Amino acid sequence: MRVILFQDRFAGKVRDGSKCQTIRKTARCKPGDVLSLRRWTGKPYRSKQEVLREAVCTGVLPVEIRGELGIEWIRVNRVYVDGARFSRADGFACSTELLDWFSLTHGLPFEGEVIMWSNGAVSGAADPHTLDGPVGDIERAYCMICRREIMTESGHVCPSCANAPVSGTPSAQVAGSVSDSEGGRE
């Protein structure tokens, strides 16, 4: 069993199931591990830990969070994701709140790992983090200009170049997509 501790501001969202992931510098767990999600009841290391819930880890993926020169984006497993939905899954109201918190807490750019878990009967939902095809109102898409693969909700724009995405999986666009070798993980 792996213990993951949360700040008080996230405890309620972990408990009620609206927070189904956490971002850490290093995950220290793997898919299939049982997670004990907890918070300190008082001063850290001088008080007891309250168990908020237990869950099974469904995934651990590399994550990058950037907010430079007014361009903000989030990549999970080298795929651009919709910031609003990703931020809500992590317990924030919007991507601006997530970016502000990471900027103050860890500094930007940030590279780490996102740990995901299933809330099972609490949320009744399937794993919202599947990156292969449609997931709820999210679908795989390709930017018409920079050809980067992104995950998007309908009506959103590419976080890299601010252009409207093209839905689907056109193999010609995949073959011509921009390489992630400019600092991404190989």
Q: Is residue 118 part of a domain?
A: yes
Phi-psi region of 176 (alpha: psi -120 to 50; beta: other; left: phi over 0): alpha
CB contact set of 1 (below 8 Å; sequence gap of 6+): 33, 34, 35, 36, 54
- Where is 143: in which H helix or E strand? strand 138-143
Residue 37's domain spans which residues? 2-131
* 156 domain residue, yes or no: no
Does a structural domain hold residue 27? Answer: yes
Residue 177, in any domain of the structure: no
SS3 117: strand
pLDDT at 16: 93
**pLDDT at site 125:** 33
The CATH number for 11's domain is 2.30.130
How far from the centroid of its chain's Cα atoms is residue 16's Cα?
A: 18
Q: For the chain, list residues with pLDDT below 50.
A: 121-140, 144-145, 152-156, 164-186
Q: Is residue 158 part of a domain?
A: no
User: What is the predicted pLDDT for the residue at 161?
Assistant: 55
Q: How many domains does the chain fold into?
A: 1
**40 phi/psi in degrees, rounded to 5:** -75, 140
Is-contact 143 176, C-beta < 8 A?
no
Structure tokens at 88: 């809500």
146 lies in some domain: no
**What does the pLDDT read at residue 110?**
95
Q: Tell me if 123 is assigned to some domain.
A: yes
- On whether residue 153 sits in a domain, the answer given is no
